[in-house]
Chains A and B, each alone.
Chain A
Amino acid sequence: MRILVCIKQLADAESKPVINRNGTWAEYGEHTAFRINRFDEHAIEEALRIKESYPGTEVDILSVGPGRVEHAVRRGIEMGADSGIHIYLDENAYISPSLKAHLITAFCSSMRYDLIITGVMSEDMMSGQTGPMVAALLGYPSAAGVIKLEIDPVNMMIHVVRELDGSSECSMDLRLPALVTLQSGINRPRYPSLSNVMRAKTAVITEIRSHDKIRPGHYESVIKVLDARPQRAGTVLQGTIKEKAESLWQILHKKSLI
């Protein structure tokens, strides 16, 4: 079986994005730390579990982005994947998920992945589109927000459980090849083992540079970004911890809440 895991590299949650002069995009400073999107870590882990259950399975890690994403791809290999693909794309402005989906699909069309796994969304943009779009473009069935999955390679099926709103779950069988996007909580991503870290140093990461030119303005674009507008009063308490605690108590007492 061949599995592809699509991952996104993003800046740490506590980094502060700075809005550029035109107010058209936000950038992170030089010293920002980057890491793999948490949901995609679950995707890597799930692929590795399948690999362990079905020896002979190959797991590739793919990421789209500037030079630094190669580190994220290599990290996936350190966790236990076999090889990596880096689709090079500069990212100093908004990139439509539609564009990323086309780039990923173009690569996948020449491969024959039985299963593509990705996280349900990225923690920073939270679009949740790229996965289902790639599936649709490849003609694969897909399920988003999966909390449990089981492969049946003999019958070329995958049994998935999706989380629904409120408190319900939906289970179904999808024909392979298929694409699933994973919710968190499905597994516990492993730490790289020393042997895999050594292997990753010389593992192959194929770099792809696309020559397709998608016209700017073809897909949706972000024309303005602002600091999130306060939806509520947002009064920041001042002083020492003790003073803040006292202020809070007074406020709540006045509202008869305490």
Chain B
Amino acid sequence: MSYIIMIMCEPRDPASSLDAEMINCALKIADGAHCRITAVMPCNKINPGPIHGADLLAVDGSAFMHYSAEAWTKAALAASQKLSPDLVIIPHTSAGYDYAPRVAAILGASCITSVTGVETSEGKPRFRRAGFHGKIEMAYETGEVPLVITVMPGAFSSGETAADYGSVGFMEHDISLESTSHITVTDTSENNPELENAEVIISAGRGTGKQENLELIRSMAALFPKSSIAGSRVLCDNGWIEYRYQVGLTGKKVSPLLYVACGISGSPQHIAGMKDSGTVVSINRDPGAAIFSHSDICIIEELEKFIPVFIETAAIHNQKK
């Protein structure tokens, strides 16, 4: 089967390893079959160089100075008209999930978001993603129409492919923004060196129950040197913990030696923030919690009951020393 695959580059930022990940995803989908891969880069007066494994199409216009759903949708549609792709691949970032469904709807294409894996079956590609609160893995197939997918960062390697450099093409697309204006980006960098450098992180989720139980989380963290507490998004939204302690796709990505998830259900958004941790221990009273599929050690207990006992156990061992 021959494919025309169009990749949308992540709006220019230092994380351009995402583009390499998307190319590796495209190569896996094509599975050795013939495919033309073009990476589309909306930009403004940049002279991009060639990339490995794909042709590059720079779509140039003043509207692409700052990201907006309107501009990126228009760029993707213009490039689609030129390339007629069977498949459009977009990184699942705050930009990707903002404009990818728009592109799909206007193209009359299907859309599958947060793809975490691909495989081929009888020559047809299948796409995997999590569903049912992350408890069930789903395998999708494309229908009659073209397909737009967003791919989770980190799902594919960003290692450089052995493939040759592709060509570089330019397309002038000097559109004006009709419905979007006054775009401003603010860096709300809430640095948290304590969390970022921690070797042990004790993380709290909705299962913590009440704000007072955070004391248990803090006490457990105190058992370890170079530790920090952290929280899932829900706790930050509730105001129980500051956003700079949030671990997840829209929070911080951490990779400590030990990550203890307490009362965390394990949504893909949270997993994305801690999956590179060394050892993962999870404490949750729900035996079906998705987090248990991403844990080395599973403790099916209420954290209110378990943590005090663990702290006591650690204290006893400490005395023996």
Contact of A90 with B by CB under 8 A: no
B110 within 8 A of A: yes
B105 touches A169 (CB 8 A): no
**Which B residues touch A225, using CB under 8 A?**
131, 136-139
Known contacts A16-B288, A96-B110, A142-B69, A229 near B293 by CB under 8 Å: yes
**Closest residue on chain B to residue A253 by CB atoms:** B317
A222 close to chain B: CB less than 8 A: yes
Which A residues between 117 and 174 are near B, CB-CB below 8 angstroms? 123-137, 141-145, 159, 162-174
- Residues on A with beta carbons closer than 8 Å to the beta carbon of B292: 230, 234, 236
User: Interface on chain B toward A: helix, strand, loop, or mixed SS?
Assistant: mixed
Residue from the list A126, A173, A183, A237 in contact with B297, Cβ < 8 A: A237
Contacts of A93 in B (CB 8 A): none
Q: Is A33 an interface residue (CB 8 A)?
A: no
Q: Which of B130, B183, B298 contacts A234 (CB 8 A)?
A: B298
* B262 close to A (CB within 8 Å): no
Whether B237 is near chain A, meaning CB under 8 Å from some CB there, is: yes
Q: Is A167 touching B189 in the complex (CB atoms < 8 A)?
A: yes
Closest Cβ of chain A to B146, distance in Å, is 11
- Asked if A47 lies at the interface with its beta carbon under 8 angstroms from chain B, I say no
How far apart are the CA atoms of A231 and B267 in the complex, in Å?
14
Asked whether B296 lies within 8 Å of A235 as measured between CB atoms, the reply is: yes
B111 and chain A: residue at smallest CB distance: A129
Q: Please, what's the 1-or-0 string for B226-255, where 1 marks a CB less than 8 Å from any CB in chain A?
A: 000000011011000000100001100000
How many residues belonging to A are interface residues under a CB distance threshold of 8 Å?
85
CB pair B267–A126 under 8 Å, yes or no, is yes
Q: How distant is B280 from chain A, measured CB to nearest CB, in Å?
A: 6
B3 within 8 A of partner (CB): no
Tell me, yes or no, whether A258 is within 8 Å of chain B by CB: yes
Instruction: Confirm or deny: B188 has a beta carbon within 8 angstroms of a beta carbon on chain A.
Output: yes
Give the CA-CA distance A223 to B183 in the complex, in Å.
41
Distance between Cα atoms of A217 and B143 in the complex (Å): 5
Q: Tell whether, in the assembled complex, residue B296 and residue A170 are in contact, meaning their CB atoms are under 8 Å apart.
A: no
* A17 surroundings in chain B (CB, below 8 A): 132, 135-136
With beta carbons under 8 angstroms apart, the residue of A13, A159, A183 that contacts B133 is A13
Chain A residues near B233 (CB-CB < 8 A): 184-185
| Whole-angstrom CA separation of A86 from B118 in the bound complex | 36
Q: Is B81 an interface residue (CB 8 A)?
A: no
Determine the residue in chain A with the shortest Cβ distance to B92: A128
A43 at the B interface (CB under 8 A): no
Q: Which residues of B contact A229 (CB under 8 A)?
A: 137, 293
Q: Give Cα A245–Cα B135 distance, bound, in whole angstroms.
A: 26
Task: For residue A102, give the distance in angstroms from its CB to the closest CB of chain B.
Answer: 9
**Which chain A residues in 1-42 approach chain B with CB under 8 Å?**
13-14, 16-17, 19, 26
Given known contacts A220-B142, A228-B136, is B111 in contact with A164 (CB within 8 Å)? Answer: no
A170 to B185, CA, bound (A): 4
Residue A232 at the B interface, CB < 8 A? yes
CA distance A220 to B143 in the complex (A): 5
Task: Verify if B286 is at the interface (C-beta below 8 Å from A).
Answer: yes
Shortest distance between the CB of A7 and any CB in chain B (Å): 18
**List of B residues within 8 angstroms of A94 by Cβ:** 138
In the assembled complex, A97 has its CB within 8 A of some CB on chain B: yes
Interface string of B63-86 (1 = CB under 8 A from A): 000011110010000000000000
Do B179 and A249 have beta carbons less than 8 Å apart? no
Cα(A173)–Cα(B184), bound, Å: 10
The residue on B at minimum CB distance from A241 is B309
A251 lies within 8 A of chain B by Cβ: yes
Residue from A123, A144, A173, A231 within 8 A of B180 (CB atoms): A173
Binding site for B on A (CB under 8 A): 13-14, 16-17, 19, 26, 94, 96-98, 101, 123-137, 141-145, 159, 162-175, 178, 183-185, 215, 217-237, 241-242, 244-246, 248-249, 251-253, 255, 257-258
Rank and list the top 5 A-B pairs by shortest CB-CB distance, nearest first. Answer: A185-B237, A141-B179, A220-B110, A136-B102, A132-B101
Q: 24 A-B residue contacts at CB 8 Å?
A: A124-B131, A126-B269, A133-B105, A137-B105, A168-B185, A169-B186, A217-B143, A218-B144, A220-B143, A220-B147, A221-B141, A221-B143, A223-B139, A224-B139, A228-B130, A228-B137, A228-B290, A230-B293, A233-B297, A236-B292, A245-B312, A248-B297, A248-B310, A257-B258
Contacts A126-B114, A185-B233, A235-B297 supplied; 12 other A-B pairs, CB < 8 Å: A14-B288, A98-B110, A126-B131, A137-B105, A142-B69, A184-B233, A223-B140, A225-B139, A228-B136, A228-B137, A228-B290, A231-B294
